[in-house]
Structure 1
Amino acid sequence: MSTDNSAQDLTVRDGASLPDRFENPGLPPHQQRMADVDPAASKRAERQVVALFAISVIGTIGFLVAYFALRPGESVESMRLSNVALGLSLFLAMFGIGAAAVHWAKTIMSDHEQQEARHPQRSDAEVRAGAVETLRIGAQESGVGRRGVLKGAVVSAVALVPLTFAVPLIGQVGGDWNVSKFRHTLWERGRRLVRDPSGEPIKASEVTIGSVYHVIPDGLREADHWIEEKAKAVVLMVRLDPRDLKESEERAGWSYDGIVAYSKICTHVGCPVALYEQQTHHLLCPCHQSTFDMADGARVVFGPASRPLPQLPITVDDEGYLVAQSDFTEPIGPSYWERLK
């Protein structure tokens, strides 16, 4: 219901009187910036924007140099150097453009508030011509036309920065797309489980209930492309109370006295899973929180992963050291186009 009021119409809602409409308060007074009133400040701001675009150009060039000149080799140090150089130069390329655009908008471009009445989606010819004229005026006020150095910096940075994405993509053309490599790892019958990274073999009698081992295949360092092989073969091994272990019939012989071993490569996007919760036997992936039950075939109990972690069948040799019975019986890691599940 409504009631009369000498100042304005009021609407009674939930016992309170509210106005039917609010008056437009209008725009606050425009505040002049330093660059608007001081030519020296305007020129200084222009130089700062040019410098930021130059940083982007330098970053892009540095990325290309790092991509071609710092190819990672077999050593961890070379991979670290390559990744740091690529990451830092890519950051400079992206940051330079972003910071320059923000600083340009805040210090050089026109900041006068504009109001425009709503109208049908298709404007008439006169309005469309007015919009074109407004854009022309905006381009003039932004200072692009009369600032040649700034214009060149913008064009250079925007033209070069796509190379940081295009060059790596083009570099993969004709590369090795043999995904069958993911079906096999260095694990084989009789290969010992050793600690990562020391390479110390593991006796089953020394593994206590609740302990966790990061495991790699024995002799990994002698393999060709051992870094790539390690990325596929890394394993997390845990000893559980045999009474807590739930094993399907086909996997009844894959563990040894409560000791189970599973691939560390998450089946979601391939992050290393390594956060083990002893009380619940849950293994957590730190990237997207996929959680696997180590006592129940590493099945997924939470998160985006759609499949359990592949299990490595293990036993002991004549000396009591833990060894693999075979390779993984399924491909490790996330799905790919030749994998059905």
Structure 2
Amino acid sequence: MGNHSDDARKTSSVVVTSHEEGKETFPNPGLPPHAPRLTDVDPHKAKSAERQVSLLFVISILGAILFWVAYFGIKIGGEYYDVMNPEPTNALRLQNLLLGLGIAFSMFGIGIGVVHWARTLMPDHEMVEYRHAVSAEADRAEAQEIVETIIAESGIKRRPLLRNTLIGSVILAPLTFVTFLRDLGPADPSVLKHTMWDKGVRLVRDPSGTPIKASDVTLGSAYHVLPENLSSLSHDQGYLNEKAKAVVLLMRLDPSDLKVSAGREDWNVDGIIAYSKVCTHVGCPIALYEQRTHHLLCPCHQSTFDAADECKVVFGPAGHALPQLPIAVDSEGYLVAQSDFHEPVGPAYWERGKHVKEMAGETK
């Protein structure tokens, strides 16, 4: 039986060994036949497609213009908008809507325009490029030839309307994002060194403006608070900017859970602590408080701070602890600030140590 199986294996036509000669070869099927598009055979269709692409590029340009009109033209609490609507919140909503629409149209127009251009006007025939030996001079000449071929086949030279609208959209669309760089922070970071907090300023609830007594803050509770003197500012005087810098989270922990460093022993009132609500990563508002772990969480990039350990960073991209507001109790039992923050609030994207030293010197 064993010999018979071996003989059958040797004579079977199904078994093909690697050293067999005369292997079967398959002919090259070549490229499939090219089916011309309507724009390839009908000049009117090609002209219509060119107008459509140019219109999409114009939409991109108009979107960028809409963005800048909203960004620079709508002033929150300023003379340009208050005539129509005195509510700054409505102005912010309108501005955000127009900014979003401007960027959307700008990106949509240029993106769809390029795709439509490629599908209707650029050559779509398939081609084969064979590999060859590498030569610096030959490769340079070939690269130049490829670029010239692409320019010629794209039709950008003989279609000035398409070319000019493309140039306009390519220049303007990215500038909408560059404009946002102005809002990454103030040109002069020193404006973040000082807020509306000062000695004796009462802590009030946001948004009611009600002063807070120490007896009102129960164990485990958390409040969003503002300085009482903030209400003296109008929107024209920078109310929103000052509010963004001064907003604070007030919590009450068991005093035995607090880790207090030297020099901060009297910054809390029987476990009541106050920290800046502005994340030290990119300035998002911190709004989530986990009572069991005493953790504060920034919803933007998940930076986590330990409120029991002077709001030091325990997770996430933030590089510094949240600045603490020293607080005390006045003669009527209301919580008040002992001073301003002892360090700048907000993102630490400048030389923080220098400003801390300057503020320490000013405090003295």
TM-score interval (norm. to shorter) = 0.7 to 0.9
CA RMSD of aligned residues (A): 3.3
Give secondary structure in 2 for the equivalent of 1:295: helix
Aligned to 1:198: 208
Match of 1:29 among 18, 27, 32: 32
Q: Which residue identity is paired with 2:156?
A: V
CA distance in 2, matches of 1:49, 1:141: 16
Q: 1:297–1:311: 8 Å Cα contact kept in structure 2?
A: yes
CA distance in 1, matches of 2:195, 2:283: 15
Aligned to 2:147: 135
Aligned to 1:17: none
Give secondary structure in 2 for the equivalent of 1:243: helix
Q: 1:30–1:112: 8 Å Cα contact kept in structure 2?
A: no
CA distance in 2, matches of 1:186, 1:64: 32
CA distance in 1, matches of 2:41, 2:214: 78
Task: Write the deviation string for residues 122-141 of structure 1: whole angstroms up to 9, x where unpaired.
Answer: 4434x644544443333333
Aligned to 1:20: none
1:239 and 2:242 are equivalent in the alignment: no
Q: Which residue identity is paired with 1:70?
A: I
- Judge which range, 261-270 or 147-156, deviates more: 147-156
Unaligned 5+ residue runs, structure 1?
11-22
Match of 1:66 among 44, 65, 70: 70
CA distance in 1, matches of 2:180, 2:284: 22
Alpha carbons of structure 1 residues 331 and 30: separation in structure 2 relative to 1, 3 Å: farther
Give secondary structure in 2 for the equivalent of 1:249: coil
Unaligned 5+ residue runs, structure 2?
1-14, 21-25, 79-87, 355-364
Give secondary structure in 2 for the equivalent of 1:156: helix
CA distance in 1, matches of 2:140, 2:89: 60
Q: 1:269–1:333: 8 Å Cα contact kept in structure 2?
A: yes
Alpha carbons of structure 1 residues 168 and 335: separation in structure 2 relative to 1, 3 Å: closer
Alignment length (residue pairs): 321
Match of 1:46 among 29, 46, 50: 50
Q: 2:31–2:126: 8 Å Cα contact kept in structure 1?
A: no
Aligned to 1:323: 336
1:228 and 2:232 are equivalent in the alignment: no
Q: Which residue identity is paired with 1:60?
A: A
Bigger fraction of residues in helix:
2
- Judge which range, 181-190 or 150-159, deviates more: 150-159
Larger radius of gyration: 2
CA distance in 2, matches of 1:185, 1:30: 73
Sequence identity, in percent?
54
- Judge which range, 229-238 or 28-37, deviates more: 28-37
CA distance in 2, matches of 1:24, 1:241: 84
1:149 and 2:153 are equivalent in the alignment: no
CA distance in 2, matches of 1:210, 1:30: 75
Off by >6 Å, runs of 4+ in structure 1: 23-28, 166-169
Give secondary structure in 2 for the equivalent of 1:271: coil
CA distance in 2, matches of 1:299, 1:202: 26
Give secondary structure in 2 for the equivalent of 1:200: coil
* Correspondence 1:69-108 to 2 at 5 A: 69-73=73-77, 75-108=88-121
Q: 1:73–1:79: 8 Å Cα contact kept in structure 2?
A: no
Aligned to 1:289: 302
Aligned to 2:228: 218
Q: 2:50–2:121: 8 Å Cα contact kept in structure 1?
A: yes
CA distance in 1, matches of 2:19, 2:257: 73
CA distance in 1, matches of 2:351, 2:317: 20
* Superposition deviation, residue 38 in structure 1: 6.1
1:182 and 2:185 are equivalent in the alignment: no
